[in-house]
Structure 1
Amino acid sequence: MKRVIIVGGGYAGANLARALDKVAEVCVVEARDHFVHNVAAIRSVVDPSLLPQIVIPYDRLLRRGRVRQGLVTSVSDGGVTLANGETIEGDAVIVATGSSYARPFKPAWHFAQAFTDSMKDAHAGLLETDRVAIVGGGAVGVELAGEIAAAHPRKRVTLISGAPTLMPGYPEKLAHSLEAQLRAKGVALHFDTRVANLESTEYPYLGTLACMPDTSGEQLIFPALGARPVTAVFQQMPNARFNPQGRVKVDAWLRPARAQRVFAFGDAAATGDPMTIVAITRQVPWLVKVVAAMLDGQSVESQPTYLPWSSRGILVPLGPRDGASVLPVTRNGVLVGKCPTALIKGRDLFIPRYRKDFGYSGQFA
């Protein structure tokens, strides 16, 4: 049986590993000791009881393959090299190193306990203050504002965006719907506002902002300034090139740096899709077909090229019952409101699904 090495066990790597486990010997190399379902991390700021549900071991992910903890430092058409000097040979290498984000929304270290501690610290800070400022009007900032306003309606929540609308890069109709709902929840919104005095862009802290009169005074400040692709492994490839977002450029078959048997997808790769889980739902089944064909002796170039979603789909709940989403089912996408967003994502944040995918109970507690 041919061996496939997947670098990264986040959403992209884990979903692909499960799909390829039926047709190849899969080895996932992941630096972290647990999978963290960070889709639910935003709500965990207001409800840390979710933490035991969203930090999941890797031991039941695969039936035949294996997941091993390690840090990959370089990749090639023949395999990977780990930080300890060990090499693992493979017939295909797929890199899904994902992206990083400010704490506590994604793990900053390799151990789940550090993520859990960071989340509990953020929750404790939230309980101790009546004022919250969120800097960043993208998906994380918008969701966080909605979650806090829904769980703590008496807290004064301010959302500050450097863009003229919420959710830059997505349809205006989505921004307008989310803006109206946040204002109805009492969230104060400031657009076209740059915050120059952040003490940290990496974690929440108690401090002051001087950008607007109603944001002065001490408050809990959450930086939510966007995801950053994790591409250190590609930096070691001589022919690697990167787009303005820092994502590695790939060819029509998602291969970086002129590689023949190395693929890249998910947040780290410039696939033409945004950095969302919605994008992975298109990339994974395409990669499964291409990699399976290659392992069967067919050339990669004989397979259909990858075509990204024609529209930028995203799901943005504002607490368990509210929110808005764009479904990528037409060229311009379809806007849906509170009820569909709650049913698809907001109610349980995909927690039962991912626990089941990792071999643990699908019951949402």
Structure 2
Amino acid sequence: MKRVVIVGGGYAGVALARALDRNAEVCLVEARDRFVHNAAAIRSVVAPALLERIVIPYDRLLRRGAVRRGVVASASEHGVVLAGGEAIEADVVIVATGSRYAEPFKPDGDSAAAFNGSIRAAHATLRAADNVAIVGGGAVGVELAGEISTAFPNKSVTLVSNAPALMPGYSAKFSRALQTQLRRKGVQLRLDTRVETLAHRERPHAGILGNDAGDEPRHLIFPALGAQPVTALFREMVGARFDRQGRVIVDGWLRPAGLSRLFSLGDAAATGDPMTIVAITRQAPWLAKTINALLAGRRIESLAPYKPWPARGILVPLGPQDGASMLPILGRGWFAGRWATALIKGRELFIPRYLKEFGYDK
């Protein structure tokens, strides 16, 4: 049986490991001790009881393969070397190192306990705050504004974005729907406003927004300035190139640096898709099918190259009952409003699905 090593146990690595588990000897290497379901982490800031269901052990993920806890120091198409010097050989290597984000929305480090602590600390600080400011008009900032205004309707919530509309890069209809719903929840929107005076860009903190955002009282400020791809492994590869977002450039079969049996997907790779879970739902099945064909002896160039979703897709709940989405279908994408967004994501945040995939639904 051929051996496949996957570096990274986030959404992309987990989806691919499960898809390959029947046909290959899979070794998933992940530095963290547990999987963090980041799609629900935003709501956990207002409802930390969710942590018991969104921080999940890896021990039941694979039936044939294994999840190995460790830090990968280098990767090639022949295998990986761990930080302690141990080499793990492989017939195929996939690097799915994902992205990092400001606390507390993604773990800063390898400890699930530390992540839980950061969420609980943010929740305690949020409960004590009268005025909350969120800097960033992308998906995390918008969703957080919706969650806080839903859970704490008496708090003053301000959302600041340097763009003239929320969710830049998506349709005007989508943006207007989110703006309308947030205003109905009492959120103050300050669009086309750049904040240059943040004391910290990586964690929530108390402070003032500064004169560039108007005269304001002291706020609890949540920076939500976008994800940063984790590409340190690629930086050591001869021939690796990167796009403007810092994602590694891959060929039509998702291979970086001119390599033949090393692949990448998810947030770290410039696949043509945005950095969303919706994108992974297309990339992982395609790459699993391609790798299975490769391991069966097919020449990869004889296989169809990867094609991104025809439109940018994203799901943005604003609490359990509100929100809007763009589904990546019908060329330009299909707009879905409050009801559909709540049904698809908002009510459950995919928590039952991931508990089932990890074997913890019982």
TM-score (norm 1): 0.98
Residue in 1 aligned with 2:352?
A: 352
Residue in 2 aligned with 1:198?
A: 198
Secondary structure of the structure 2 residue equivalent to 1:124: helix
- Does residue 94 of the first structure (1) align with residue 57 of the second (2)? no
What is the rounded CA distance, in whole Å, between the counterparts of 2:166 and 2:267 in structure 1? 21
What is the rounded CA distance, in whole Å, between the counterparts of 1:214 and 1:41 in structure 2? 30
- Does residue 109 of the first structure (1) align with residue 114 of the second (2)? no
**Code of the aligned partner of 1:182:** L
Q: Is the 8 A contact 1:203 1:223 kept in 2?
A: yes
CA displacement at 1:79 relative to structure 2: 0.5
- Does residue 148 of the first structure (1) align with residue 181 of the second (2)? no
What is the rounded CA distance, in whole Å, between the counterparts of 2:173 and 2:98 in structure 1? 28
What is the rounded CA distance, in whole Å, between the counterparts of 2:213 and 2:324 in structure 1? 30
Instruction: Say if 1:303 and 1:157 are closer, same or farther in 2 by CA, change over 3 A.
Output: same
- Does residue 264 of the first structure (1) align with residue 259 of the second (2)? no
- Residues 163-174 of structure 1 aligned to structure 2 (within 5 Å): 163-174=163-174
CA displacement at 1:248 relative to structure 2: 0.1
Q: Deviations over 1:38-85 (max 9, x none)?
A: 100000010000011100000000001000111112111111111111
What is the rounded CA distance, in whole Å, between the counterparts of 1:212 and 1:279 in structure 2? 35
- Residues 321-336 of structure 1 aligned to structure 2 (within 5 Å): 321-336=321-336
Q: Deviations over 1:326-355 (max 9, x none)?
A: 011110000010000000000010000001
What is the rounded CA distance, in whole Å, between the counterparts of 1:308 and 1:218 in structure 2? 44
- Residues 121-200 of structure 1 aligned to structure 2 (within 5 Å): 121-200=121-200
Q: Is the 8 A contact 2:190 2:213 kept in 1?
A: no
CA displacement at 1:211 relative to structure 2: 3.5
What is the rounded CA distance, in whole Å, between the counterparts of 1:237 and 1:351 in structure 2? 37
What is the rounded CA distance, in whole Å, between the counterparts of 1:239 and 1:229 in structure 2? 18
Secondary structure of the structure 1 residue equivalent to 2:311: coil
Q: Is the 8 A contact 1:193 1:211 kept in 2?
A: no
TM-score (norm 2): 0.99
**Code of the aligned partner of 1:45:** V
- Does residue 317 of the first structure (1) align with residue 310 of the second (2)? no
CA displacement at 1:361 relative to structure 2: 1.4
Secondary structure of the structure 1 residue equivalent to 2:349: coil
Residue in 1 aligned with 2:229?
A: 229
What is the rounded CA distance, in whole Å, between the counterparts of 2:213 and 2:252 in structure 1? 50
Residue in 1 aligned with 2:19?
A: 19
- Does residue 36 of the first structure (1) align with residue 48 of the second (2)? no
Give runs of ≥4 in structure 1 deviating > 3 Å: 211-215
Secondary structure of the structure 2 residue equivalent to 1:108: coil
Q: Is the 8 A contact 2:8 2:96 kept in 1?
A: yes
Secondary structure of the structure 1 residue equivalent to 2:80: strand
Instruction: Say if 1:361 and 1:215 are closer, same or farther in 2 by CA, change over 3 A.
Output: farther
What is the rounded CA distance, in whole Å, between the counterparts of 2:46 and 2:278 in structure 1? 25
Identity over aligned residues, as a percent?
64
**Code of the aligned partner of 2:218:** E
Residue in 2 aligned with 1:8?
A: 8
**Code of the aligned partner of 2:344:** I
What is the rounded CA distance, in whole Å, between the counterparts of 1:44 and 1:254 in structure 2? 34
Residue in 2 aligned with 1:274?
A: 274
Residue in 2 aligned with 1:249?
A: 249
Secondary structure of the structure 2 residue equivalent to 1:308: coil
Q: Is the 8 A contact 1:33 1:69 kept in 2?
A: yes
CA displacement at 1:212 relative to structure 2: 5.2
Residue in 1 aligned with 2:209?
A: 209
**Code of the aligned partner of 1:149:** S
CA displacement at 1:219 relative to structure 2: 1.2
CA displacement at 1:215 relative to structure 2: 5.4
What is the rounded CA distance, in whole Å, between the counterparts of 1:70 and 1:170 in structure 2? 38
- Residues 50-89 of structure 1 aligned to structure 2 (within 5 Å): 50-89=50-89
Instruction: Say if 1:265 and 1:88 are closer, same or farther in 2 by CA, change over 3 A.
Output: same
What is the rounded CA distance, in whole Å, between the counterparts of 2:213 and 2:347 in structure 1? 36
Q: Is the 8 A contact 1:158 1:215 kept in 2?
A: no
CA displacement at 1:180 relative to structure 2: 0.4
Secondary structure of the structure 2 residue equivalent to 1:22: coil
Secondary structure of the structure 2 residue equivalent to 1:352: helix
Instruction: Say if 1:222 and 1:2 are closer, same or farther in 2 by CA, change over 3 A.
Output: same
Q: Is the 8 A contact 1:131 1:220 kept in 2?
A: yes
What is the rounded CA distance, in whole Å, between the counterparts of 1:270 and 1:211 in structure 2? 37
Which residues of structure 1 form unaligned runs of 5+?
none
CA RMSD of aligned residues (A): 0.9
What is the rounded CA distance, in whole Å, between the counterparts of 1:8 and 1:353 in structure 2? 20
What is the rounded CA distance, in whole Å, between the counterparts of 2:267 and 2:172 in structure 1? 23
Q: Is the 8 A contact 2:208 2:217 kept in 1?
A: yes
Secondary structure of the structure 2 residue equivalent to 1:153: coil
CA displacement at 1:214 relative to structure 2: 5.3
